[in-house]
A and B are shown apart, each in its own frame.
Chain A
């Protein structure tokens, strides 16, 4: 399963790689990273069909996660539709409602609970 993680903080990359160390080793998941919404879109243009799950931060300079979500749902409105989970440090209703309205599949808050995330991944892959 290919997962694209979008976050302007570069250090989430080693974090994900280590947290999913076993899963990566067993080829259960594969990670790609983008540091901004724009970069994520460029990546998707090339490899749209490969990506199964997108985990995106909402609060990023430039294109926000919500905007990215909007683009994904409109510009890549063809099967297979990736699962999109929004991640934010601002866990308020407004953010949640906005994300869900724009077509997010799930809404996670920082700090990320990786065990919860793994549970969710298992459900998706089934």
Chain B
């Protein structure tokens, strides 16, 4: 029965060769493995011819053991460990068979069925192990394939995500640039609203400057006339008038000057420099500007302007053009609201916009603050949109008339930049009150 060992050895070379067929080390081993197969066949024939079966059994076992030990030593065949290991029972059984049949032929003959059986079982064992190991290897192969598939997928996803992230970053940059542009546009838009008001506000003081200087010239002629008549008393009275007029000219000149300066400040990019400022001055100035701005655009517009400005208001440290912008926005909104209401309300409706300032004294140890209230009796804010009005780009005005940035910018200026507060009291149909608090 010694052919089992040879057959096993032969099959081992065949199996290894097949398994290696698609691996990179195949070229290295192909010849060796094929040659081994032939050599094993040759040895079998040779041994069969020269020796009796007992010796052959032992030789076959030793040959197989040699092959196994070689394979075990060689790192290239590490993955065949299970298969190699499965051959050991056959080696042992064949060896024992050979030795027993050589030394105790009678005993062997008596039990030969058992010995043959053992050899068949050992031989079969190789197949069983081979089958399972093949299955395992297939499984491992499958897992490896899946793994590389997944790795490719992960790599793909990573590239996609990186690309998306870059795109998002670009989009964010673009958005930030657009936002900066929009803020600038909003400033320009509000400047546009102001232009007419500014023109009116400058025209008035200029008229006074012209009128008072003209009349003063006439008065001087008169004074000369009176002096030549010798009426010093009248001349002195006229001189007093002239002096008053010059003061008025100066006053109105300064008024125009202040308006031009305010306009320049408004259009200039904010310097972000806080300076002690009297809120009353800004409030009064923008109140009038906003009114005349709207008035110039729409001749039918009119409203009662009420200003209750606390004369003892402390100065606050603010960026004047920014807070001015907020106030302008609130005034424009208030005028817009009363104007909207006037369109639908009964003829007795009196549009009214009020601005008031006052000091809020802290209770104990806290900081004082000042409060600016802008109140109108206009159309009011519907409850449904109350929490939206501070959002950027939210506007109820027709397309093209509002940027939707006014209140959102106001919020940024008052709350974020000045640590203040904006509260809104509004009832639909009755009016709105914006309350701005700024810490002193």
- Give the B-binding residues of A (Cβ under 8 A): 9, 11, 14-15, 18-19, 21, 59, 61-64, 67, 89-90, 92, 94-95, 98, 110-112, 114
Contact B219 A18 (CB under 8 A): yes
Q: Chain A residues near B200: list those with CB within 8 A.
A: 59, 89-90
* Contacts of B186-245 to chain A: CB distance below 8 A: 200, 203-204, 206-208, 210-212, 215, 218-219, 222, 241, 244-245
| Distance between Cα atoms of A114 and B280 in the complex (Å) | 35
Contact B203 A15 (CB under 8 A): no
**A98 contacts which of B203, B206, B252, B299 (Cβ < 8 Å)?**
B299
| Distance between Cα atoms of A67 and B342 in the complex (Å) | 15
Q: Give the top 5 A-B pairs by smallest Cβ distance, nearest first.
A: A61-B305, A111-B207, A62-B304, A18-B215, A64-B302
**B291 contacts which of A61, A67, A90 (Cβ < 8 Å)?**
A61
Q: Chain B residues near A95: list those with CB within 8 A.
A: 299
Tell which of B206, B252, B299, B304 has the most Cβ of chain A within 10 Å: B299
**A14 contacts which of B204, B245, B296, B303 (Cβ < 8 Å)?**
B245
Contact B208 A11 (CB under 8 A): yes
> Given A15-B211, A19-B215, A95-B299, are A89 and B204 neighbors across the interface (CB < 8 Å)?
yes
Contact B203 A89 (CB under 8 A): yes
| Distance between Cα atoms of A110 and B200 in the complex (Å) | 11
| Distance between Cα atoms of A18 and B241 in the complex (Å) | 8
Let me know if B15 is at the binding interface, CB within 8 A. Answer: no
Count of chain B residues with a beta carbon within 8 Å of a chain A beta carbon: 27
Interface of A (DSSP majority class): loop
Tell which of A19, A21, A61, A90 has the most Cβ of chain B within 10 Å: A61
| Distance between Cα atoms of A41 and B269 in the complex (Å) | 47
| Distance between Cα atoms of A64 and B222 in the complex (Å) | 37
Report A67 CB to chain B, min CB distance, Å.
8
Contact digits for B297-340, partner A, Cβ 8 Å, 1 yes 0 no: 00100111100000000000000000000000000000000000
Contact B245 A61 (CB under 8 A): no
| Distance between Cα atoms of A83 and B222 in the complex (Å) | 31
| Distance between Cα atoms of A30 and B37 in the complex (Å) | 140
Known: A14-B244, A110-B204. 13 other contacts (CB 8 A): A9-B204, A11-B252, A18-B245, A19-B218, A21-B219, A21-B222, A59-B295, A64-B302, A67-B302, A89-B207, A111-B207, A111-B210, A114-B211
**A112 contacts which of B211, B299, B304 (Cβ < 8 Å)?**
B211
Contact B295 A110 (CB under 8 A): no
**A15 contacts which of B204, B212, B302, B303 (Cβ < 8 Å)?**
B212
Contact digits for B271-294, partner A, Cβ 8 Å, 1 yes 0 no: 000000000000000000001100
Report A2 CB to chain B, min CB distance, Å.
22
Contact B211 A94 (CB under 8 A): no
| Distance between Cα atoms of A111 and B203 in the complex (Å) | 8
| Distance between Cα atoms of A110 and B291 in the complex (Å) | 19
Q: Chain B residues near A63: list those with CB within 8 A.
A: 304
| Nearest-neighbor residue (CB-CB) of A17 within chain B | B241
Contact digits for B243-263, partner A, Cβ 8 Å, 1 yes 0 no: 011001000100000000000
Q: Chain B residues near A110: list those with CB within 8 A.
A: 203-204, 207
| Distance between Cα atoms of A63 and B212 in the complex (Å) | 27
| Distance between Cα atoms of A112 and B327 in the complex (Å) | 33
Q: Chain A residues near B208: list those with CB within 8 A.
A: 9, 11, 15
